[in-house]
């Protein structure tokens, strides 16, 4: 009874949290709280096997799959609140209230008396369950197993894709690379890595070729498309950092002078200059 009064408020709060949580992952987590609390209630009521099965199957497997999908698909953005079915909300509230009413009435009719629990667990909880499953309910058990296997096979068939081209192994890929080199002059080796410098080593920093120009191959196409490529060596960049550190006024002036001298060189430096100004003010 103590366990019930400790767990029941937690479960109710978590269940309400599922409804009102903004992020789908938070809702899934709260659902896990409800499930684990439920399993502990099973344990308290002398059903240890149900306790572990509840955790292994629901919390460990099914909810984990939910989480996988949520994380990979990224259903993080707040859901759209536009009603696609007219009158959906009114219907939902009405049906919810009706269901709650029926449930309350139904539960109120039942007198909660655990009958025959000691007798059922006499030979041990697991032994008792096994005895029932493999004698009286063996047909239902087998039918469920067949259903589950069919579902698993169905999932595999749905996810299966016929291979239309042969699978290329390492040898074929190497030959392909050399063929590309012979025919199109494509470089057979790996792409150059992004630049590594004293103050920049992130992937958006292009590598420099021996003549000082930028190697286009060293930066990701995605970053280039987003236009977030940084520059490897930039006087304005140095200027900005010195300003942020807040060196003496003299040094600041010196750098300013040098910056203004180079300012007309290119748009990139002008951009960085304005950036620095913003962070200063």
Cβ nearer to another protein, comparing 19 with 105: 19
CB 48 within 8 A of CB 125: yes
Q: C-beta of 110: minimal distance to another protein in Å?
A: 28
Q: Does 75 bind another protein (CB under 8 A)?
A: no
Please identify, among the stretches 89-97, 142-150, 164-172, 273-281, the one whose residues bind another protein according to the rule CB under 8 A.
164-172
The rounded distance, in Å, linking the Cα atoms of 5 and 12 is 11
Can you read off the two tokens belonging to residue 48?
């240890």
Q: How far apart are CA 15 and CA 33, in angstroms?
A: 9
Among 7, 24, 30, 51, binds another protein (CB under 8 A): 51
Angle of CA points 54, 44, 121, to nearest 5°? 85
Which residue's CB is nearer to another protein, number 49 or number 217?
A: 49
Residue closer to another protein by CB (options 29, 217) is: 29
Residue 117 lies near another protein (rule: CB under 8 A): no
Q: How many CB atoms lie within 10 A of CB 230?
A: 18
d(CA 89, CA 71): 28
Q: How many residues bind another protein (CB under 8 A)?
A: 34
Name the strand (E) or helix (H) holding 249. Answer: helix 249-262
Pick the binder of another protein from 15, 25, 38, 217 (CB under 8 A). 25
Residues that bind another protein (CB under 8 A): 23, 25-26, 29, 32, 36, 48-49, 51-53, 55-56, 59-61, 64, 67-68, 71-72, 123-127, 162-166, 168, 173, 176
């Amino acid at each position: 009874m103590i366990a019930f009064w400790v767990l029941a408020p937690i479960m109710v709060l978590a269940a309400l949290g599922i409804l009102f949580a903004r992020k789908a992952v938070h809702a899934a987590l709260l659902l896990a709280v409800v499930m684990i609390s439920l399993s502990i209630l099973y344990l308290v009521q002398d059903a240890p096997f149900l306790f572990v099965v509840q955790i292994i199957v629901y919390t460990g497997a099914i909810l984990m799959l939910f989480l996988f999908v949520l994380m990979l698909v990224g259903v993080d953005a707040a859901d759209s609140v536009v009603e696609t079915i007219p009158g959906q909300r009114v219907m939902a509230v009405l049906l919810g209230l009706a269901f709650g009413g029926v449930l309350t009435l139904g539960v109120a009719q039942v007198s909660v008396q655990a009958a025959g629990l000691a007798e059922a667990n006499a030979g041990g909880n697991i032994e008792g369950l096994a005895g029932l499953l493999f004698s009286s309910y063996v047909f239902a058990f087998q039918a469920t197993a067949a259903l589950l296997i069919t579902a698993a096979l169905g999932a595999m068939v749905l996810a299966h894709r016929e291979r239309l081209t042969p699978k290329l192994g390492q040898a074929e890929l190497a030959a392909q690379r050399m063929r590309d080199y012979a025919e199109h002059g494509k470089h057979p080796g790996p792409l150059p890595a992004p630049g590594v410098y004293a103050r920049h080593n992130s992937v958006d920093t292009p590598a420099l070729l021996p003549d000082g120009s930028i190697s286009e191959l060293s930066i990701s196409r995605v970053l280039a498309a987003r236009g977030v490529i940084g520059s490897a060596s930039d006087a304005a960049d140095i200027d900005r950092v010195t300003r942020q550190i807040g060196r003496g006024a003299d040094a600041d002036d010196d750098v300013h002078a040098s910056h203004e001298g180079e300012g007309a060189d290119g748009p990139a430096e002008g951009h960085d200059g304005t950036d620095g100004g913003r962070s200063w003010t």
